[in-house]
Amino acid sequence: MTTWFLADRVFFMPISAVVSSGDTAWILVSTVLVLFMTLPGLALFYGGLVRGRNVLSVMAQCAGLACMASILWVVCLYSLAFKGDGALIGNFDAAFLKGLTPDSITTGTTIPETVFIMFQMTFAIITPALYVGAVVERMKFSAMLLFSTFWLLMVYVPTCHWVWGGGWLFDMGVRDFAGGIVVHTTAGVSALVLAVILKKRKGFPGHAHPPHNPGMVFIGAAMLWVGWFGFNAGSQLSAGGGAGMTMLVTHLSACTAAIVWSGIERFRNGKFGLVGMVTGLIAGLAAVTPASGDIGPMGAIAIGALSSGICYFAVNLIREKLHIDDSLDVFAVHGVGGILGTLLLSVFGQKSMGGLGIVKPVMEQLGIQSLAVGVTVVWSVIATILIAFVVKMLIGLRVSPDQEQEGLDYSEHGENAYPD
């Protein structure tokens, strides 16, 4: 037997490892589910939340990012994230997937490397798509693609390597099972910074910008809910008891968060809002993501409840108190949720709390988790500011006031979701 290390998990594999058809089939399905989260899940979720004259622009940005990120992943991003033994970044050994064959097996797994590449590609697709929600109805399509090209290179790939690719945070023992740091913290923080840089939409906060189609919001959220099982349980990289437990705790956190959010809205506003319910659902999913490989059912329910309450008040703080136009509450839901789950796993991952047994004591693990979050937040802020400045100088970030008034569907794409 030999010991292989991949991400935050240890695999004990025979030296002559062979592909498992069961594991491969599950990761193939998980890959489809994660892509399904962006297209159509996130596109419909965000599309329903904006005004009717901007729904196609949101969908176009999600689709454009999916295509652009996929190509970049093959060109160099995969190699920089997962190849080499550098503490800060990988290398170009696998640029353009050099040396890849159908028989290549990902180290420490029983799945083909082609499947692992595709699975991780879907994470690189959805992560920048998350911050689309912070700048809807005012950011140029071309600016979004150019910004995200630089962002994937400067923010996503380094963080991915630090945490999952054998970098310095991995060596410290950080735990981030499916992306609380790599996905939700990076995207959430960058969303908040972008919202500040682009400034408010016309009429915000005095003029309400209600969702144009709550039914579409629900459909998109339901797709995200289903797709999230591939996101989290697929991160086990095998089909078995671990994937089953991860799926279970993911579902429990989401359900708890949706109920808690609805209860808070009923207490404060007298109504059980559908959009609020699914917003809580997403908060619970974001929070359980980093912890889903370490916690049990009790921890999932606790994380779901805590994340929903804290994210609810984060939404009100950012929108109502600070008047930052993070249009679809990306930081308050994804950023705060992801950070919270990243920290709470230090507690609920302990066997005494029903977890699966994090080796390090609570305070030691919490210190590592806090350092990882802090470094990621600082780097995401700095890099986002630099990238936004460059893109603004090159092609500009925001559409003109007339285009914004007309709606980005027609002014940017020459089409209308709801023609007269």
Within a domain: 416:
no
Domain that holds residue 395: 21-403
pLDDT digits (tens, 9 = 90+) for 256-274: 999 999 999 999 999 999 9
Listed range (34-43, 160-169, 349-358) with the worst mean pLDDT = 349-358
CA–CA distance, 74 with 286 (Å, rounded to integer): 27
Distance (Å, whole) CA 179 – CA 123: 9
How much of the chain exceeds pLDDT 90, in percent? 92
Q: What is the pLDDT of residue 296?
A: 98
- Say what the pTM is: 0.94
Q: Is the pLDDT of residue 337 over 70?
A: yes
**pLDDT at residue number 16:** 43
- 209-213, 242-246, 248-252, range with the lowest pLDDT: 209-213
Q: How many domains does the chain have?
A: 1
User: What is the Cα–Cα distance from 403 to 291, expressed in whole angstroms?
Assistant: 43
| Any domain includes 5 | no
Is 388's pLDDT higher than 60? yes
Q: What are the structure tokens assigned to 139, written together?
A: 């950011």
Note whether residue 185 is domain-resident.
yes
Residue in 121, 33, 111 with CA at minimum distance from that of residue 82? 121
Closest CA to 380 of 345, 410, 338: 338
Question: Residue 11 domain-assigned?
Answer: no
Gap between the Cα atoms of 350 and 290, Å rounded:
15
Q: Quick one: pLDDT at residue 17?
A: 67
Confidence of residue 209 (pLDDT cuts 50, 70, 90): confident
**Residue 21: Cβ within 10 Å count:** 11
Find the mean pLDDT for residues 125-132.
Answer: 98
What is the CATH number for 210? 1.10.3430.10
Asked if residue 9 is part of any domain, the answer here is no
**Amino acid 156: pLDDT:** 98
Are 249 and 295 in contact by the 8 Å Cβ rule? The answer is yes
Residue 4, pLDDT > 60, answer: no
What is the per-residue pLDDT across 270-293, written as a single tens digit (0 to 9) for each?
A: 999 999 999 999 999 999 999 999
The answer to whether position 414 is within a domain reads no
